[in-house]
Chains A and B, each alone.
Chain A
Amino acid sequence: MNPGELICYILAGVVVISALVVVLTANLVRSVFLFFVTLFALAGLYVFSLADFVAVTQVIVYVGGVLVLMLFAFMLSNKELLNSLRQPAAAKLSMLTNIPAGIVAAGVFTVLAISTKGLQLAAPSGMSLFPAGMLNAGDNTIHLLGVRLMTNYLLPFELASVFLLMALIGAAHLARKGKEST
């Protein structure tokens, strides 16, 4: 086993273990901070799949954005409220109330398993990002991504940006003081 493979397995292990601890830990704030470890290790796994752009975006969006937002929500709320939110010690996976969630999770995993069974990692010809259909470490992925986003995938890209703009305008409208309430 070469060092690269070893690091990959260590990262995968960190992702799984930290994700489990995030779900099972009683201290909510610590579990959010641990979520940071999960996201960071996941970014490492993206690097091993030669998706370096996705890895960096993962860090910038989830760590710099979503995680900080979650932490802000915690810090603005009362500490006593957080303590009362802690899971009771009797909560176990086998409880009756967990059955619907369990069924949904099992369904999702079944779909995942079925859809990835016959999956080929190379994209179909004509859709592939790279001329030879193969990606090498050190390829200028961001250049190709940019070209593809502006040619083959322009419509989804523009749709996504319009949606984000709508969300932004909506947020600005909600945050604005109403004329009569001032």
Chain B
Amino acid sequence: MNFYLTYLLVATLLFAFTAIFALVALYAERKVSAFIQDRLGPMETGKFGLLQPFADILKMLHKEFIIPSAADKVLFTLAPIIIYVAVYMGFATLPWAPGVVPVSLNLGVFYIFAILSVETVGILMAGWGSNNKYALLGSMRSVAQIVSYEIPAGVSVIAAVMISQSLDLQEVSAEQGILAAHPIKFLGIWTVNHTGGILAWNIFQAPHLIVAFVIYFIASLAECNRAPFDIPEAESELVAGFHVEYSGIRFAFFFLAEYSMMFLVSMIAALLFLGGWNTPLPNIGPARLADWTTGTAWGICWIVMKAIILVGTQIWIRWTLPRLRVDQLMNLCWKILTPVAFACMLISGIWRLAVM
């Protein structure tokens, strides 16, 4: 029975983490946007507006559920839950530290991509169920975008997986540091099994993965429907896209799903390209920095820090770049990202055979 209790506890912890992260990210988003636009952001609630996310959540909880009379009530109600659960289930195979992983699955990466594709069904459900033309247009744009950008994202992930030789994310991260079981080489020339640190990360083991990482990062922005790929939510033309009819806690679930998705894709990027839970500090002579900073608590710190830096970059990009047009979006995906991602995959294969 303890077995099931542990599972329940882990699931609850992950849920609590996504909820708390969404609150923090909501505050960060407001503050970062304010600083980029030379404003102060929320300052009234609490010191520096620190209580703002709690005030927001209280407001959401108080609001009435409004279901439009012409909406499909079942689909309308289920959509936010399906979208959130799809993202939340993706967390199941993500490792947090050496030995700390909810499920160590052979198919880790593949599973995450499959479960995230369920999100598109949820978005279509929200768009159709709302019975509103803006919602429908938003959901169709969103799904067209997610389905297109899954291809460069998937191919660039395969490029990284070919270097690590495993789909299990726990193994992928173990292969990028001092705990690696196989010989790993910095830029394919210098064996760094005992040095570790930043030199052993995938992007430095095989430098073409830097390109793959950038492609994955751009594609993951599109999969989160974040600016500059926010035509599904385009406030100025579609009001708010697929979640225009939602209110109260259901609306909050869309936000929760969006911020959890941002953290999820950032964590996948960190795991596949940026060394996972491995420390960036290498062993230098007698200063065994990598040995000292590898462990359960350190692992959790590093992975969360890496993911938060990437989320910060996502927020920064959102408030810096203007929105892309639909044709520019598709051009970028099919004519630039996809061919370059395929080239990365090809180089990965050659690298694996010739260099490693």
Task: Check A68–B115 contact: CB distance below 8 A.
Answer: no
Listed stretches B104-112, B233-241, B257-265, B283-291; interface member: B104-112
Task: Check A141–B75 contact: CB distance below 8 A.
Answer: no
B247 at the interface (CB under 8 A from A): no
Task: Check A56–B114 contact: CB distance below 8 A.
Answer: yes
B275 at the interface (CB under 8 A from A): no
Q: In the complex, A141 Cα to B117 Cα: how many Å?
A: 23
Q: In the complex, A72 Cα to B136 Cα: how many Å?
A: 11
Of A3, A29, A56, A65, most B-chain CB atoms within 10 Å: A56
**Residues in chain A near residue B121, CB distance under 8 A:** 33, 36, 63, 67-68, 71
A60 at the interface (CB under 8 A from B): yes
Task: Check A52–B107 contact: CB distance below 8 A.
Answer: yes
Q: In the complex, A140 Cα to B72 Cα: how many Å?
A: 44
Q: In the complex, A36 Cα to B115 Cα: how many Å?
A: 13
A59 at the interface (CB under 8 A from B): yes
Listed stretches B122-130, B173-181, B301-309; interface member: B122-130
For this complex, into which size category does the number of interface residues on chain B fall? 20 to 34
Task: Check A56–B118 contact: CB distance below 8 A.
Answer: no
Contact with B along A1-29 (1 / 0, CB 8 A): 00100000000000000000000000001
Task: Check B113–A53 contact: CB distance below 8 A.
Answer: no
A148 at the interface (CB under 8 A from B): no
B112 to chain A, nearest CB (A): 10
A65 to chain B, nearest CB (A): 8
* Residues A60 and B117 in contact in the complex (CB < 8 Å), given A33-B75, A68-B143, A71-B124: yes
A142 at the interface (CB under 8 A from B): yes
Q: In the complex, A67 Cα to B125 Cα: how many Å?
A: 12
Task: Check B128–A75 contact: CB distance below 8 A.
Answer: yes
**Residues in chain A near residue B143, CB distance under 8 A:** 68, 71-72
Task: Check B124–A142 contact: CB distance below 8 A.
Answer: no
Contact with A along B145-176 (1 / 0, CB 8 A): 00100100000000000000001000000000
A30 to chain B, nearest CB (A): 7
Q: In the complex, A56 Cα to B111 Cα: how many Å?
A: 6
Majority DSSP secondary structure for residues of A touching B: helix
Task: Check A140–B114 contact: CB distance below 8 A.
Answer: no
Of B110, B136, B139, most A-chain CB atoms within 10 Å: B110
**Residues in chain A near residue B128, CB distance under 8 A:** 29, 71, 74-75
**Residues in chain B near residue A133, CB distance under 8 A:** none
Name A68's contact: one of B72, B106, B136, B147 (CB within 8 Å).
B147
* Residues A33 and B167 in contact in the complex (CB < 8 Å), given A60-B117, A68-B143, A68-B147: no
B250 to chain A, nearest CB (A): 17
Closest to B121 in A: A36
A64 at the interface (CB under 8 A from B): yes
**Residues in chain B near residue A29, CB distance under 8 A:** 72, 75, 128
A64 to chain B, nearest CB (A): 3
Task: Check B75–A75 contact: CB distance below 8 A.
Answer: no
Of A30, A33, A40, A143, most B-chain CB atoms within 10 Å: A33
Instruction: In the A-B complex, list the 8 residue pairs whose CB atoms are closest, starting with the nearest.
Output: A64-B117, A60-B114, A59-B114, A56-B114, A71-B124, A140-B106, A56-B110, A56-B111
Contact with A along B86-120 (1 / 0, CB 8 A): 00000000000000000001110011011101101
**Residues in chain B near residue A56, CB distance under 8 A:** 107, 110-111, 114
* Residues A142 and B167 in contact in the complex (CB < 8 Å), given A29-B128, A53-B107, A75-B140: yes
B74 at the interface (CB under 8 A from A): yes
14 additional A-B residue pairs with CB within 8 Å, beyond A56-B110, A56-B114, A64-B114: A29-B128, A30-B72, A30-B74, A56-B111, A60-B113, A60-B117, A63-B117, A63-B118, A63-B121, A65-B117, A68-B124, A71-B128, A71-B143, A142-B167
B232 to chain A, nearest CB (A): 14
Closest to B168 in A: A140
Contact with B along A36-80 (1 / 0, CB 8 A): 100010000000000011001101100111011001101110000
**Residues in chain A near residue B118, CB distance under 8 A:** 36, 40, 59, 63-64
Closest to B116 in A: A64
* Residues A75 and B127 in contact in the complex (CB < 8 Å), given A30-B74, A141-B106: yes
Q: In the complex, A162 Cα to B241 Cα: how many Å?
A: 39
